[in-house]
Amino acid sequence: MEQKLRNAAAVHALDILGVKQSFMLGFPDNRMDSIPLLEIVQKLESVLEQVKPHVVYTHHHGDLNIDHRIAHQAVMTACRPVPGTSVKEIYTFEVLSSTEWNTPGLTPFIPNVYVDISEYLDIKIQAISAYAMEMRDAPHSRSMVNIQQQAGYRGYSMGLYSAEAFSLIRMIL
């Protein structure tokens, strides 16, 4: 039942963002470590073959959440730079209450690409509100207050009002 609620919330958030196509691969929440990596990679490769994306975004490899780390590893495997690949750029993103909470000493998220979201921040907040089951009250790291503050912090560090930060992993020109 909880998985159905998560999927419905995700679809609602995607609708708010105007996403026309999405794929739900059906892996168990917080238990992707129970699935062989090869199975995850093969499902991703199937999606990549259908969509043929040029740009792929994935979780930071140092996230605390096991599903995020496995997703990163599977994406990097599925998107390896073999002849004929459509993928030319791979970026990682941060997830509040996961990326910053991992063990000190592991590779931290260090953004080097920033996207100005100043005129889209309200839409981002609406989409996140649709996924309210994942949100917490301030001062929790995954609160609406902190998401807005993080967008401001990332933006102000680049002379913008609001930004989304990414780390470029690979770019093939």
Q: What are the tens digits of pLDDT across the range 132-167?
A: 888 999 999 999 999 999 999 999 999 999 999 999
For the chain, how many structural domains are there in total? Answer: 1
**What is the Cα–Cα distance from 167 to 5, expressed in whole angstroms?**
31
Note whether residue 14 is domain-resident.
yes
pLDDT band at 104 (very low <50, low <70, confident <90, very high): confident
Note whether residue 73 is domain-resident.
yes
Q: Is the pLDDT of residue 3 over 90?
A: no
Q: Is the pLDDT of residue 127 over 80?
A: yes
Could you tell me which of 52, 72, 74 has the C-alpha nearest to residue 61? 72
The pLDDT, as a whole number, for residue 138 is: 95
Encoded tokens for 137 = 């009250």
Question: Could you tell me where the beta strands, DSSP code E, fall in the chain?
Answer: 55-59, 89-93, 113-116, 163-171
Note whether residue 77 is domain-resident.
yes
Q: Which residues pair with 116 in a beta bridge?
A: 163
Q: How far is CA 110 from CA 5, 40, 42, 60, 148, in A?
A: 33, 26, 29, 10, 19
For residue 93, the enclosing domain spans 2-114+165-171
Question: Is the whole model's pTM more than 0.85, yes or no?
Answer: yes
CATH number for position 94: 3.40.50.10320
Note whether residue 16 is domain-resident.
yes
